[in-house]
């Protein structure tokens, strides 16, 4: 269920960020957002 909620963020699903550090930063931000909801 958690991964389905992560796929709602288009930037994560399509790998919009090309740099690994930016992708990881947005992934952590999205995880924190889901965890707080």
Give the ranges where the chain is alpha helix by DSSP (H): 2-6, 10-13, 20-36
Distance CA 6, CA 27 (A): 8
- The mean pLDDT of 7-28, rounded to a whole number, is 84
Q: What does DSSP assign to residue 14?
A: T
* pLDDT of 22 higher than 80: yes
Long-range contact set of residues 15-18: C-beta below 8 Å, sequence gap at least 24: none
Model pLDDT, residue 31: 92
Q: Locate 27 and state its tokens.
A: 């992934």
- Percentage of residues in the chain with pLDDT exceeding 70? 100
Q: Name the average pLDDT for the chain.
A: 85
* pTM > 0.95: yes or no: no
């Amino acid at each position: 269920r958690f991964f389905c909620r992560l796929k709602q963020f288009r930037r994560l699903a399509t790998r919009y960020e090309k740099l690994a550090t930016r992708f990881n930063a947005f992934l952590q931000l999205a995880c924190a957002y889901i965890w707080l909801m």
